Amino acid sequence: MSKILKCGQCKSYGLTEPCSCGGKRVSPTPPKYSPEDKYGEYRRKIKYG
Question: Which sequence spans correspond to the domains of the chain?
Answer: 1-27
pLDDT (tens digit, 9 = 90+) per residue, 15-26?
999 999 999 999
Q: Write down the pLDDT at residue 40.
A: 83
pLDDT (tens digit, 9 = 90+) per residue, 26-46?
988 887 878 888 888 888 888
pTM exceeding the 0.75 threshold for the entire prediction: no
Other Cβ atoms less than 10 A from the Cβ of 17: the count is 11
The distance in angstroms from the start CA to the end CA of the chain is 37
Alpha-carbon distance of 7 to 46, in angstroms, equals 21
